[in-house]
Amino acid sequence: MPTEQPTTTPAPFPDSGRPVLWWPPPQQLLVLLLLALAVFGVPPASAEAGHPLWRAPVEGQVVEEFAAPPAPWAAGHRGVDMAASAGADIRSPADGVVSFSGVVVDREVLSIDHGGGYVSSFEPVESDLEVGDAVIEGQTVAELGTYDDGNHHCPAQPCLHWGVRLHGDYINPLLMLGELEPSVLLP
């Protein structure tokens, strides 16, 4: 009569005493990471390659880049500074509704809610728009202004500070123009 061999099942706690954790293979991990980026804040790509999702509010070059702060309360540059001539027209980068128009400290600020959690802000500007006014992409929404003391935002030249928030967190506005690709960390 054959002897029956005892069957062993893997213990939930291997020799180390720690529970066994599931970790996806690298390909599945990459797919999960890309899905998380798509759901939690990477701007959607345009349907046509090379066609930006938004348009720049002014035609000038970027004179100071975005620098994310290490913490919400820490120092950083929460937008980009774009060269513009004094009194230049500021255009809405996308359709939206004015969510703020008023003075913050010593400058007039205009904010537009574009929906989907995206809000863009411009300073210093002069605008006749009021909260609740609807705007369309490319519409002139303000003119480049100065601070109360007559100085510009950039010390060397007139410039517009353009910030973009996604669900309250600042992101680089150039992502919305298709000029930058979001960083993707691989396993």
Domains of the chain with bracketed CATH? 11-187 (2.70.70.10)
| CA 186 to the chain's CA centroid | 21
Please, what is the Cα angle at 51 between 157 and 60, to 5 degrees?
Answer: 5
E strands, the chain, in order: 62-64, 80-83, 89-91, 96-104, 107-115, 118-123, 125-126, 134-135, 140-144, 159-166, 169-171
Tens-level pLDDT at each residue, the chain (187 residues): 566 665 555 555 555 555 555 666 666 666 666 656 555 555 444 433 333 489 999 998 999 999 988 888 888 889 999 999 989 999 999 999 999 999 998 889 999 999 999 999 999 999 999 999 999 999 999 999 987 776 777 777 899 999 999 999 999 999 998 876 555 555 6
Overall pTM > 0.85? no
User: Residues with Cβ < 8 Å from 101, sequence gap 6 or more?
Assistant: 108, 109, 110, 111, 127, 129, 130, 131
